[in-house]
């Protein structure tokens, strides 16, 4: 990436090349290294600043329900990836378990993990934390990364049949409520993947089928074989690709739920980071994300400055407005903000108290349209596995 910005880069599309695939394998090795320190590590959240605003959750919330296809979940879920690293060093295990259980106590019934997070240990964490509440909650996990350092993606049916049993064991359960293909494997027709999941549904091991970062064409092909309950992709106030490439509209047309990951912009929309923030290249993926680079982060600051001002006027925090905006956009959207801290969890859950009208939504979008988004949403390693089929 050139250190000198020349023009706004708003999520350009590109196809993976050999170098990208090698980078994904390298990323898997980094995850494995991270996993080894999980159970003894403690949270190290340097560079974070306190949030402003006064809306928080004290005790149980009045969380509403939403549908992902036919799967009923709480309107806000909890993304558990960051508890085992990726955006920071791994959190303390007991701290993470307490955060997950606090989410349950406050009405959250939808929890997101994946075999590649850690790898493996995030599923173990979620399984342990939710075991006492298993019949009260819905667990989503994912397959599709090889996790062996030699192949970037692997959604072969024989592998799916093997890894689902491994995930079930780690999650301490007899069924997975929502099983996502983590990334579309260009070497395996999506119809074969859908057929494999259909078999698992027949066996009772999986209840619902999902796709992550899939294109419109892939979604339609999969849905023709087996109803897709949910599509997971990045969506936030500064990452709105799915509104432009037809994915969000396709989900609405087909009755598929949409699950935004990184709904508060990988922390950017919380207002806790500024141009002095330094992300650790060894433990934090954001160190390689163009949006967070020294070249582009200063150019993106007007977005968060406007959001802070708007949130203050509404008596809320920036992250709460970012989440409330998503909730107001469509009843089939279920954000899964991720955190390892109870305080951040409760702050996020406060978004249910903010009722944004369609006029409010339009005001937010019109105001933010004045500020170009500089830099791609992820680095080459991560972008190389995105499905660009049209």
User: Alpha-carbon distance 169 to 249, whole Å?
Assistant: 36
- Are the C-beta atoms of residues 14 and 383 closer than 8 Å to each other? yes
Q: Please state the pTM of the whole predicted model.
A: 0.84
In a domain, 378, yes or no: yes
In a domain, 5, yes or no: no
Q: State how beta strands 78-79 and 110-112 pair.
A: parallel
- The model's pLDDT over 203-230, given as tens digits with 9 standing for 90+, comes to 999 999 999 999 999 999 999 999 999 9
- Are the C-beta atoms of residues 253 and 223 closer than 8 Å to each other? no
In a domain, 98, yes or no: yes
Positions marked catalytic: 117
**Which domain range does residue 86 map to?**
18-383
In a domain, 12, yes or no: no
The two tokens of residue 236 are 């936030």
- The per-residue pLDDT for 283 is 81
User: Alpha-carbon distance 136 to 333, whole Å?
Assistant: 21
In a domain, 217, yes or no: yes
Q: Which H or E run includes 112?
A: strand 110-112
- CATH code where residue 242 lies: 3.20.20.100
Number of domains present in the structure of the chain? 1
- CB-based burial label for 136 (10 Å; 0-12, 13-18, 19+): exposed
In a domain, 388, yes or no: no
In a domain, 4, yes or no: no
- CB-based burial label for 244 (10 Å; 0-12, 13-18, 19+): exposed
Calculate the CA 129 to chain-centre distance.
19
- The model's pLDDT over 9-56, given as tens digits with 9 standing for 90+, comes to 333 333 333 333 333 333 443 343 344 343 333 333 333 333 333 333
- Are the C-beta atoms of residues 129 and 91 closer than 8 Å to each other? no
User: Alpha-carbon distance 213 to 218, whole Å?
Assistant: 10
Cis peptide before 260 (omega within 30 of 0): no
Calculate the CA 357 to chain-centre distance.
25
- The model's pLDDT over 129-157, given as tens digits with 9 standing for 90+, comes to 999 999 999 999 999 999 876 448 999 99
Q: What is residue 260's three-state secondary structure?
A: strand
In a domain, 365, yes or no: yes
């Amino acid at each position: 990436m050139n250190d000198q910005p020349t023009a706004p880069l708003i999520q350009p599309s590109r196809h993976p090349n050999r170098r990208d695939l090698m980078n994904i394998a390298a990323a898997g090795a980094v995850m494995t290294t991270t996993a080894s320190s999980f159970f003894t590590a403690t949270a190290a959240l340097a560079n974070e600043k306190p949030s402003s605003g006064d809306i928080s959750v004290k005790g149980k919330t009045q969380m509403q329900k939403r549908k992902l296809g036919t799967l009923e979940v709480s309107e806000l879920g909890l993304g558990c990836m960051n508890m085992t690293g990726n955006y920071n060093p791994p959190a303390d295990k007991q701290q993470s378990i307490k955060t997950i259980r606090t989410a349950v106590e406050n009405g959250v019934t939808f929890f997101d993990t994946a075999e590649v997070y850690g790898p493996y240990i995030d599923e173990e964490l979620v399984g342990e934390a939710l075991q006492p509440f298993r019949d009260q909650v819905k667990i989503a996990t994912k397959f599709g990364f090889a996790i062996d350092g030699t192949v970037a993606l692997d959604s072969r049916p024989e592998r799916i049949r093997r890894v689902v049993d491994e995930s079930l064991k780690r999650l301490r359960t007899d069924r997975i409520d929502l099983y996502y293909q983590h990334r579309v494997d260009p070497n395996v027709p999506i119809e074969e993947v859908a057929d494999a999941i259909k078999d698992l549904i027949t066996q009772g091991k999986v209840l619902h089928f999902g796709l992550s970062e899939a294109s419109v064409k892939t979604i339609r092909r999969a849905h023709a074989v087996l109803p897709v309950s949910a599509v997971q992709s990045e969506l936030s106030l500064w990452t709105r690709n799915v509104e432009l490439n037809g994915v969000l509209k396709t989900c609405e047309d087909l009755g598929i739920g949409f699950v935004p990951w990184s709904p508060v912009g990988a922390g950017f929309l919380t207002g806790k980071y500024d141009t002095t923030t330094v992300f650790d290249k060894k433990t934090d993926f954001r160190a390689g994300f163009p949006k967070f680079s020294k070249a582009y982060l200063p150019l993106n600051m007007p977005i968060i400055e406007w959001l802070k001002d708007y949130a203050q006027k509404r008596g809320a925090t920036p992250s709460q407005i970012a989440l409330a905006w998503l909730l107001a956009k469509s009843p089939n959207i279920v954000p899964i903000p991720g955190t390892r801290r109870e305080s951040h969890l409760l702050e996020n859950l406060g978004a249910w108290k903010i009722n944004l009208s369609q006029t409010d939504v339009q005001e937010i979008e019109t105001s933010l349209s004045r500020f170009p988004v500089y830099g791609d949403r992820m680095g080459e390693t991560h972008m190389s596995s995105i499905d660009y089929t049209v």
